[in-house]
Structure 1
């Protein structure tokens, strides 16, 4: 995917505020509004922009406790992995999931009402599943999303020096 400085500027601005009106976006990027509109459309078509999301206050939807659950699978097969991943994605308490390397296979960010809900959820959603060998739960005291855009492609890093 070939992106230039203008594309990176648009991505940076949208990462900080995805609801920024096109006119303001264009002005901040130093380009015409029609150019901004076409660039953003192209970035979506290329897959550089994968979606726009609202950051919802957990308390507004009844989430009083968040946790990160490490899950180790009993066996590693494509079918078992795919089945368990789909199971996770179907659970309303799962806010995000990460397939990771190391001693665990998944890190699962969950949102629940309280500690009783967390216990019942972990027992039903994880420990009763035959694919699961081990879980470990860590409470999350604070979550903040970094709105800065990490641009780490080598050719882009060299051009910024």
Structure 2
């Protein structure tokens, strides 16, 4: 699997492109992350040693960044979810962006935090027990921050997730 311009003696597999087998492995893992190596190999009609080596390569190359559990927030008593758009005040943008992200990502109600371009600076995905908890979260943790100019809250009725995204660096 030597690519053009790549030293065939190099042990660095990070520069290799994904081939069809890699793509098939990823498609199966996105649907069933807990599949055993033996079942993965059988599904792909390859040897278990090949499946293991390919998985290890995908992890080493940084294509697979982790293995995650999908948690049912409702079973945890946090069945109400919302997306809160947050716009920060103009000014010392870099410092306020970093400080806001550092503080908000640690809050237990936060499921996901997105730093985005557009009308808002952030989208904060939260899961709480009831509507009054959404209000309290926005008032206590977002609007109370001096760097926050505005918030906009949308309740999530239902959602579908195709895959777990890798964290941004």
**Bin of the TM-score, shorter chain as denominator length:** 0.7 to 0.9
1:81 Cα deviation from its structure 2 partner: 0.9
Matched positions, count: 148
1:52 Cα deviation from its structure 2 partner: 1.1
Moved over 4 A (4+): none
Q: Is 1:21 matched up with 2:36?
A: yes
Q: Which is higher, the Rg of structure 1 or of structure 2? A: 2
Q: Where does structure 2 lack aligned partners over 5 or more consecutive residues?
A: 1-14, 164-169
CA contact (8 A) 2:110 2:124 kept: yes
CA distance in 2, matches of 1:85, 1:30: 45
The equivalent position to 2:135 in structure 1, one of 119, 122, 135, is 119
The equivalent position to 1:5 in structure 2, one of 11, 15, 20, is 20
The Cα RMSD (Å) is 1.4
Q: Is 1:81 matched up with 2:97?
A: yes
Output one character per residue of 1:58-116: Cα deviation in whole Å (capped at 9) or x when no partner: 12111121001000011352221111111121111110111111111111110011011
Q: Is 1:36 matched up with 2:36?
A: no
CA distance in 1, matches of 2:98, 2:44: 41
Q: Where does structure 1 lack aligned partners over 5 or more consecutive residues?
A: 148-161
The equivalent position to 1:62 in structure 2, one of 63, 68, 77, is 77
CA contact (8 A) 2:38 2:48 kept: yes
Q: Is 1:109 matched up with 2:103?
A: no
